[in-house]
């Protein structure tokens, strides 16, 4: 038996079979709300109003005609600019150039003039795979359980749409595009290329992209039928081409002093260099800092608390776009913890000192309707503990200490908007001098542009990946102790 599902405010009418999951129905038609947990009912963020009652879309079966009202989607800002080394224009194929950074949360594309290398346009969007989970693990599970084609189609459609938008805005014929570069973490790369990702969910999590490659772009990007598609190798199963692109953009591999690159998204990738040696690792830090496991967590969009300061002995919150706060993003979470620590609202073990409770749990009020719970603080401690442990263990591997770092680049949206003072205060960046910290912006996007511009940069990636020593933290017996020691504030 079929039922009628009317989706508001779009007034779109869908047809559902009896017992069909509402979230799955909305996904199929591109109308799904955010579901950071992948629809498993654990995050509580896919809330909709069904026939006048609030409920989770993932926990609702269609058993009658429904009127479903979607909450207004929070559109995250897309970070476009980033630090960039100077490119020598010598592309793999003549013509205009397209470069893409496929992130787990956002996708950014750039159009460059093939004769001058000048940027002609930039456009971005949220990654449409977000309906299947905020983190790569949720999406990988969906892929290996039969959803591979769906995820691949979504990301290819998004890249194609961005390419069309860029060419249209710059009056460029897509058929004249000669070179297209794509970077992303291993999961995003494999899903875009249509490579089944079981290697990323099974030990030893080995990468399948181990060589730089140039191939026809048409099967992946039909809009550019004569272009060449460039992809570069991954460092490991969880440190990918986007990190390689960041290294190219910062020229980290060519520096002889002590440097660190930190890219924190839904996963945390770290690369450290000292005296010509390089080490890299990956930490499972992102879900909390992207808001997926925080009661009022959200992306950095309108209505999000993005910064918290102490004023006259009280917490003072900045809200993106002004107006009433509806949630808190990662930079706000870091600030809030640092400010609460300063005011004695939490102790060095992360225990909230206020005795007021909601639903049996201690909390810290930030604004009317937005607060941090003890669980939120614990999630932050685990995220920051993993990042700090990764930094300390890489430093030990290279024979230095974090205090000896001469420069630290914070890449990505989170690193760009995070207050370094707050990160240092809570120990997310352990023993690192604040004056050494520099926001690198979308360094992965900048690296992708370098690849599109220069055949030499593409060829350099193989040597670069071969020189980086990868630390498998989960297999290191010292990691658990180091992680536990870094959970405190």
Return d(Cα 411, Cα 425) in angstroms, integer: 19
pLDDT band at residue 77 under the 50/70/90 scheme:
low
pLDDT band at residue 74 under the 50/70/90 scheme:
low
pLDDT-wise least confident of 9-13, 127-131, 337-341, 358-362? 9-13
Q: What is the pLDDT of residue 200?
A: 94
Return d(Cα 305, Cα 328) in angstroms, integer: 4
Please give the average per-residue pLDDT across 68-90, as a whole number.
Answer: 77
Q: How many percent of the chain have pLDDT more than 90? A: 71
Extract the tokens encoding 383. 């995220």
Q: Is the model more confident about 320 or about 84?
A: 320
Q: What is the pLDDT of residue 23?
A: 87
pLDDT band at residue 481 under the 50/70/90 scheme:
very high
Examine the pLDDT at 347 and tell me if it is beyond 70.
yes
CB atoms within 10 A of CB 97: 28
Q: What tens digit of pLDDT does each residue of 143-168 get?
A: 999 999 999 999 999 999 999 999 99
Whether 224 contacts 213, CB under 8 Å: no
Q: What is the pLDDT of residue 76?
A: 56
Return d(Cα 452, Cα 456) in angstroms, integer: 10
Show the 3-state SS of the chain: CEEEEEEECCCEEEEEECCCEHHHHHHHCCCCCCCCCCCCCCCCCCEEEECCEEEEHHHCECCCCEEEECCCCCCECCCCCECCCCCCCECCCCCEEEEEEECCCEEEEEEECCCCCCEEEEEEEECHHHHHCCCHHHHHHHHHHHHHHHHHHHHHHHHHHHHHHHHHHCCCCHHHEEEEEEEECHHHHHHHHCCCCHHHCCCCCCCCCCCCEEEECCCCCCCCCCCEEEECCCCCCCCCHHHHHHHHHHCHHHCCCCEEEEEECCCEEEEEEECCEEEEEEECCHHHHCCCCCCCECCCECCEEEEEEEECCEEEEEECCCCCCCEECHHHHHHHHHHHHHHCCECCCCCECCCCEECCEEEEEEECCEEEEHHHHHHHHHHHHHHHHHHHHHHHHHCCCHHHCCEEEEEHHHHHHCCHHHHHHCCCCCCCCHHHEEEEECHHHHHHHHHHHEHHHHHHHHHHHHHEEECCHHHCCCHHHHHHHCCCC
Extract the tokens encoding 323. 């107006």
Q: What tens digit of pLDDT does each residue of 425-445 get?
A: 999 999 999 999 999 999 999
End-to-end CA distance of the chain: 56
Whether 286 contacts 135, CB under 8 Å: yes
Q: What is the pLDDT of residue 384?
A: 94
Whether 104 contacts 267, CB under 8 Å: yes
pLDDT band at residue 290 under the 50/70/90 scheme:
confident
Return d(Cα 15, Cα 27) in angstroms, integer: 13
Q: Are strands 96-102 and 106-112 parallel, antiparallel or unpaired?
A: antiparallel
Extract the tokens encoding 8. 């508001």
CA distances from 421 to 311, 313, 337 (A): 16, 18, 12
Examine the pLDDT at 310 and tell me if it is beyond 80.
yes
pLDDT band at residue 72 under the 50/70/90 scheme:
low
Average pLDDT, rounded, for the chain: 92
Return d(Cα 279, Cα 392) in angstroms, integer: 12
Of these ranges, 37-51, 169-183, 201-215, 403-417, the one predicted with the greatest mean pLDDT is 169-183
Whether 287 contacts 281, CB under 8 Å: no
Whether 280 contacts 470, CB under 8 Å: yes
CA distances from 431 to 255, 389, 392, 407 (A): 21, 12, 9, 13
Q: Are strands 314-319 and 304-311 parallel, antiparallel or unpaired?
A: antiparallel
pLDDT-wise least confident of 80-84, 119-123, 364-368, 385-389? 80-84
Alpha-carbon Rg for the chain, nearest whole angstrom, is 23
Entry pTM: 0.89
Return d(Cα 87, Cα 71) in angstroms, integer: 44
Report long-range pairs for 50-55 (Cβ below 8 Å, ≥24 apart). Answer: 50/22
Q: Please, what are the domains in the chain?
A: 2-69 (3.10.20.30), 96-250+444-466 (3.30.420.480)
Q: What tens digit of pLDDT does each residue of 236-275 get?
A: 998 999 999 999 999 999 999 999 999 987 678 999 999 9
Q: Give 66's strand partners.
A: 5
Please give the average per-residue pLDDT across 169-181, as a whole number.
Answer: 98
CB atoms within 10 A of CB 396: 15
Q: What tens digit of pLDDT does each residue of 100-126 get?
A: 999 988 999 999 999 999 999 999 999
């Amino acid at each position: 038996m079929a039922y009628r599902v009317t989706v508001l405010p779009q007034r779109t009418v869908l047809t559902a079979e009896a017992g069909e999951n509402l979230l799955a129905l909305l996904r199929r038609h591109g109308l799904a709300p955010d579901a950071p947990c992948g629809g498993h009912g654990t995050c509580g963020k896919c809330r909709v109003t069904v026939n006048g009652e609030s409920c989770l879309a993932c926990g609702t079966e269609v058993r009658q005609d429904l009127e479903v009202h979607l909450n207004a989607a929070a559109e995250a800002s897309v970070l476009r600019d980033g630090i960039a080394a100077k490119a020598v224009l010598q592309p793999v194929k003549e013509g205009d150039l397209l470069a893409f950074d496929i992130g787990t949360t956002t996708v950014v594309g750039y159009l460059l003039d093939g004769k001058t290398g000048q940027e002609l346009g930039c456009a971005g969007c949220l990654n449409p795979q977000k309906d299947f989970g905020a983190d790569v693990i949720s999406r990988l599970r969906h892929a290996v359980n039969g959803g591979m084609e769906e995820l691949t189609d979504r990301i290819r459609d998004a890249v194609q749409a961005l390419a069309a938008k860029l060419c249209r805005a710059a009056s460029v014929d897509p058929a004249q595009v000669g070179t297209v570069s794509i970077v992303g973490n291993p999961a995003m790369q494999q899903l875009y290329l249509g490579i089944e990702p079981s290697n990323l969910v099974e030990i030893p999590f080995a990468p399948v992209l181990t060589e730089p490659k140039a191939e026809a772009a048409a099967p992946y990007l039909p809009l550019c039928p004569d272009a060449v598609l460039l992809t570069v190798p991954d460092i490991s199963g969880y440190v990918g081409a986007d990190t390689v692109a960041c290294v190219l953009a910062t020229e980290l591999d060519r520096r002889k002093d002590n440097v660190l690159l930190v890219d924190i998204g839904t996963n945390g990738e770290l690369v450290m260099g000292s005296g010509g040696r390089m080490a890299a690792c990956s930490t499972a830090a992102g879900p909390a800092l992207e808001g997926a496991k925080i009661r009022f967590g959200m992306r950095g969009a309108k209505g999000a608390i993005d910064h918290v300061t102490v004023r006259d002995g009280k917490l003072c919150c900045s809200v993106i776009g002004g107006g009433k706060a509806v949630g808190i993003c990662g930079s706000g979470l870091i600030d809030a913890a640092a400010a609460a620590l300063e005011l004695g609202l939490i102790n060095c073990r992360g225990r909230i000192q206020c005795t007021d409770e909601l639903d049996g749990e201690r909390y810290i009020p930030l604004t009317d309707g937005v607060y941090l719970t003890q669980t939120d603080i614990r999630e932050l401690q685990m995220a920051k503990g993993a990042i700090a442990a990764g930094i300390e263990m890489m430093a030990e591997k290279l024979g230095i200490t974090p205090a000896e770092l001469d420069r630290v680049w914070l890449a990505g949206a989170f690193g760009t908007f995070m207050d370094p003072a707050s990160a240092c205060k809570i120990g997310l960046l352990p023993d690192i001098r604040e004056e050494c910290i520099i926001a690198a912006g979308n360094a992965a996007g900048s690296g992708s542009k370098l690849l599109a511009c220069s055949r030499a940069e593409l060829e350099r990636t193989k040597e670069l990946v071969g020189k980086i020593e990868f630390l498998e933290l989960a297999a290191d017996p010292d990691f658990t102790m180091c992680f536990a020691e870094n959970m405190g504030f």
